Structure 1
Amino acid sequence: MHDPNDLNAMLEPGQMVRHPREADWGLGQVQSNINGRLTVMFQHEGKVVIDSKRVAVHPVYE
């Protein structure tokens, strides 16, 4: 059962995303999604760990 407060629960490794408040980071690829901690490798920022209870990233379907 997933945490109802996890805003990124549906994301899986390999999916592409964008950060809603950091457009200059560019496109990011999900590396892992474990216990509300989403690790994303962004083009212009590098690896970032996101608290899924605070930030909902935007999936990219291109």
Structure 2
Amino acid sequence: MNDFLSPGSFVRLSGRPDWGIGQVQTVIGSRVTVNFEHGGKQLINTDRASLVAVDHGMFGR
């Protein structure tokens, strides 16, 4: 379930840790647009990929 995903939430993509922390821009069903530190803006299908919530206090933003 993606109940934790909302615009402004901070996440990591489990399959691409090199992209760093991302901030959720939009959520439409299972399609989530995320702007990653090192991966840029990406459209993620959460039916196929796992986003993990991150506490933004963890990295000083």
* TM-score, structure 1 as length reference: 0.81
Residue 10 (structure 1) shift: 3.0
- Structure 2: which 5+ runs fail to align? none
Query: Which among 48, 51, 54 is matched to residue 57 of structure 1?
Result: 51
- How many residue pairs get aligned? The number is 56
For the pair 1:23 / 2:17, whether they are aligned, the reply is: yes
**Is the contact made by 2:15 and 2:49 (CA closer than 8 Å) also made in structure 1?**
no
Question: Which aligned segments of 4 or more residues in structure 1 are displaced greater than 2 angstroms?
Answer: 7-10
* TM-score, structure 2 as length reference: 0.82
- Structure 1: which 5+ runs fail to align? 1-6
CA RMSD of aligned residues (A): 1.1
